[in-house]
Amino acid sequence: MAQRIDGVVLLDKPSGMSSQSAVTSVKRLLHAEKAGHTGTLDPMATGLLPVCLGEATKYSQDLLDADKVYQAKLRFGIQTDTGDAQGQIIAEKSTAEVTDNAMAQG
């Protein structure tokens, strides 16, 4: 039976799960009446996903509009058939010319 629960759950979303699936899981686990997330994380992305419950859903837009920090791991010199990290590598190129200085200059 669904219950009224108000607040924010900070979920460490694993790779392979959509943000909406994460919300559904939290809602089901806590038997919450109302739940929503504060912005979509790509299914391949991991990270902190704030899930608003009950009355806290009224503030999801404020959290969505707030400043955020993202960290990423990049791998230079490869091309995949899908254009992302999950595809098969179809081409490789030397990255010897990629330096910190060159990166800073853009």
Residue pLDDT, tens place only, 1-42 = 778 999 999 999 999 999 999 999 999 999 999 999 988 888
**Catalytic: which of 6, 12, 42, 65?**
42
The confidence score (pLDDT) of residue 98 equals: 83
Residue pLDDT, tens place only, 51-66 = 999 999 999 899 889 9
Active site residue 6: no
The confidence score (pLDDT) of residue 105 equals: 81
pTM (two decimals): 0.73
Q: In what order do the strands lie in the sheet with 7-13?
A: 7-13, 47-53, 35-37
- Cα–Cα nearest to 55, from 21, 102, 96, 8: 8
Separation of alpha carbons 52 and 36, rounded Å? 5
Residue pLDDT, tens place only, 19-30 = 999 999 999 999
